[in-house]
Amino acid sequence: MPEKGKPMDIHDTNGTLPDRGPTTSAFRGPDRIRRVACLGTGLIGGGFVALFLARGLDVIVWDPAPDAKDRLDQILTTAWTTLERLGARAEDRGTLSWASTAEEAVKTADFVQESAPERLELKRNLYASIELVTPPDVVIATSTSGFSIADLQAGGSQSTRVIVGHPFNPPYLIPLVEVAGAVHTSREALIAAEAFYQSIGKVVIRMDHEIPGFIANHLQAALEREAMHLVAEGHATPQQIDAAVVHGLAPRWSAIGPCMVRHMGSSAGGIGGYFERFNLGSERSLSHHTPPEFTPEFIKAMSEGCRTMEAGRDKATLSAARDRAVIETLLAQRHAGVSRHGV
């Protein structure tokens, strides 16, 4: 088993990291991060808590919701079974403690992961309360999926160390995290965050600049939009759509992405040759730029289709089944030597 705070085999990157320069001493890097403050314990925040604990990090949690402790216990119970299958051991698990205020949680932290609800004023107020008490060399990362750093700091302090650390759900299982910042964000803070996430096994995309939704959500939204149109126009059921993705697109995309799929599928000239012939194809008839109207009939079709796929299983059972399938995909990728480097 690796040292506390080091990645497990499932996240092996063959001992190399992308060449992004050394981690600056201006912000605490992986070798100085042993205690993480997690603000918020929903699906994303709780998933991050599970991941940090599995990597041997001590976690101090703050969440004002009255059911926060029970909710986090449920997430950790589900997540730990998954993490043990990936190599986590109880004897290497970090400690978990609770803070009564956000300020208490961050004042002794080496890294801060904020996963509060996606309400702009709530997040702005939270940053205003923790900024002055968080140690000056500690990076503050937000899990936001919809707001930019510019949004979060509009009209307030433009801290150079607040960055986006946007994961995919569940964070304890899905490797991707997108790192970004505003124009005023310190490059050193971005480098430090990237190095930390990589040290706990994440595949990091460090964006040159932030855009709404970042990268993966843009791609996901396009697929979801086309799926909704297929249902709304009566061309497919939710069951057919999910089967097309799970058994058609996903197996191939688990090894190579859509750009390389197009490159390898072009008979001559690779993806360059494809663009030369683009106007001869049917792509324009395959894309909708806006979602369909959310009519009662459409919503009913989506709801009934998803309930059919639930097959009477509750969310905990469905989550466990999802985790088992993702684990096997991750193990298969490792066995096949699929690269885990970010960009």
pLDDT digits (tens, 9 = 90+) for 182-198: 999 999 999 999 999 99
Burial grade of 334 (CB within 10 A; 0-12, 13-18, 19 or more): middle
The amino acid that residue 281 corresponds to is: G
Give domain status of residue 341, yes or no. no
Task: Name the residue range of residue 192's domain.
Answer: 9-206
Same domain, 35 and 76: yes
The string of DSSP codes covering 6-36 is SPPGGG--TT------PPPTTS--GGG--EE
Distance CA 236, CA 244 (A): 10
Share of the chain above pLDDT 90, in %: 53
pLDDT value of position 322:
85
Residue that has been written with the tokens 């990291």 in this structure = 17
Share of the chain above pLDDT 70, in %: 85
Q: Where are the alpha helices (DSSP H) in 55-95?
A: 68-85
Give domain status of residue 318, yes or no. yes
Q: What is the CATH number of the domain that holds 285?
A: 1.10.1040.10
Residue pLDDT, tens place only, 12-66: 433 333 333 444 459 999 999 999 999 999 999 999 999 999 999 999 999 999 9
Give domain status of residue 168, yes or no. yes
Same domain, 53 and 161: yes
Give domain status of residue 16, yes or no. yes
Give domain status of residue 262, yes or no. yes
Say which DSSP state 255 is in. T
Residue pLDDT, tens place only, 136-152: 999 999 999 888 898 88
Give domain status of residue 343, yes or no. no
Same domain, 202 and 67: yes
Same domain, 331 and 251: yes
More confident residue, 96 or 269: 96
Largest CA distance in the chain: 63
3-state DSSP call for residue 164?
A: strand
Distance CA 135, CA 331 (A): 38
Same domain, 147 and 288: no
What pTM, to 2 d.p., does this model score?
Answer: 0.83
Token digits of residue 49: 């808590």
Same domain, 23 and 125: yes
CA atoms within 13 A on the CB side of 169: 13
Tell me which of 206, 240, 261 is where a domain ends: 206
Residue pLDDT, tens place only, 74-116: 999 999 999 998 899 999 999 999 999 999 999 999 999 999 9
Q: How many domains does the chain have?
A: 2
